[in-house]
Amino acid sequence: MTEENHKERTEDLHIRIPAILAKRVRNFASENDISITGVVIEALDILLREHNKQNDR
């Protein structure tokens, strides 16, 4: 699931993150030719899916 193929309703979510994490996100997005939003969507989706799998056991 990436920003480009994510067709659900969206909403703005403003967060403050450590500067070093922001730099890592920007670098990852640049190196992989995707948007920062796409990186955040993908990372949150993976994290939450894995968390749900662990809780379903």
- pLDDT at position 4 is 54
Supply the pLDDT for residue 21: 97
Per the domain annotation, does 1 fall within a domain? Answer: no
Mean pLDDT by 10-residue block, N- to C-terminus, for the chain (57 residues)? Answer: 65 95 98 96 95 84
Q: What is the pLDDT of residue 55?
A: 86
Q: Is residue 5 in a domain?
A: no
Range of the domain at 36: 16-55
Backbone φ and ψ for 8, nearest 5 degrees, come out as -75, 165
Instruction: Quote the distance between the C-alpha of residue 44 and its chain's center.
Output: 4
Q: Given this model, what pLDDT does residue 54 score?
A: 85
Count of domains observed in the chain:
1
The per-residue pLDDT for 56 is 83
Residue 5 pLDDT: 55
User: How far does Cα 49 stand from its chain's mean position?
Assistant: 12
